[in-house]
Homo-oligomer: A and B are copies of this chain.
Amino acid sequence: MGSSPGTRRPTIAAVAQAAGVSVSAVSHVFNGRTNISPETAQRIRDAADALNWRPNVASRRVSRSLGGPAGGAVGNSIGLVVTQSPETFRRDPFFIRLIAGLTGPLGELGWSLSLTVVEPQDEEQVYRQWWTEQRVDGFLLVDLRTKDPRIPLLRSLSATAVALGPTPAASAVPGVTLDDGAGLEEVLAHLAGLGHRRIARVTSSPGLAHSRRRDRALTAAARQRDLTVRSLAWNEDAADPVAGLLAARGDVSALVLDSEALATRVIAHAPELGVRVPADLSVLSWEDSWVSELVRPRLTALSAPVEDSARTAVDLLRRMVHGEKPSSVVVPGRRLVVRESTGPAPA
């Protein structure tokens, strides 16, 4: 064990001694200084390998807090704090896609991802703690809310952060936003082409910023096509949320749902309630993943380049940690994947 007595882990001094050089020579090699002869450098590296030694990240961070090249930037870890019930976190494929997309680019940088899932009441506490304890070099914000309290919080902490989604222009948090416009047009063209005239957007979290944005964008775009768009709320607490939704839909012939978790539940359960998809009702999801391919009928979905967003976010974070002040980025590539859950509007 690392903590068993007598088993002290090797230090830079041990490596220096093994290689027959000074401590600073070792340090230089591991910090990309070019002032060490190749042979010596190799000898140092060999000694380090033999001892299984690598610079201790903690010590490194402490000493670099002095005046390193990047003003003390180290770049060890970025924090992802997901404020959702564990249930939502588990069920929404978006999160696992995001995580998977993040670890690649982070690994290339030698950074790691510190992840946690918290209930809303613990959110502020975790951001505060992780930042003030200097556990992380920055945060990736997801599920931006309207007037998101994390923006002023992070500002007051002088914390580094990047958001997935648009942020207020004045904030110090650049956002990685998806270009929704094209996808939205595709959705409407698709539905209108199938003869739908009345559609509804369904969300389970009206407090999320993207929800309002989508409402507005969809409504505006629909007007130009002479479609009407209603807004429907998903009530998770109902005995049967799908039944509730179907009952509330009125004369709507197509449903656009904010998440796959919602859309797939409608797909699976609607037939059991006597509503055939897509014969009676078309269903479309604003997010896409393997789950949409799994249900029957397969779900027509707006797919987002989550991996691209993740990579872009990591890059922004990297630059911020190194002292730059990058501005927001728009990632293109949303597109409609037509599968089986949308069909001609019923007569």
- Give chain A's interface residues, CB within 8 Å of chain B: 1-5, 7, 9, 52-59, 61-62, 70-73, 76-77, 79, 86, 89-91, 93, 95-97, 99-101, 103-104, 106-107, 110, 112-118, 122, 126, 128-130, 132-135, 137, 156-160, 172, 264-265, 268, 271, 289-291, 294-296, 320-323, 325
CB-based nearest B residue for A271: B296
Known: A77-B114, A116-B107, A160-B1. A100 touches B90 (CB 8 A): yes
Contact A59 B56 (CB under 8 A): no
Given A1-B158, A9-B158, 6 extra CB contacts under 8 A? A1-B323, A52-B156, A56-B62, A59-B62, A265-B294, A295-B295
CB-based nearest B residue for A122: B107
Closest CB in chain B relative to A144 CB, distance in Å? 20
CA distance A114 to B106 in the complex (A): 11
> Cβ of A137: which chain B residues have Cβ within 8 Å of it?
2
CB-based nearest B residue for A261: B290
Contact A135 B71 (CB under 8 A): no
Known: A52-B132, A56-B133, A73-B3. A296 touches B268 (CB 8 A): yes
In the complex, which of the residues B7, B115, B158 contacts A7, with contact meaning CB atoms closer than 8 Å? B158
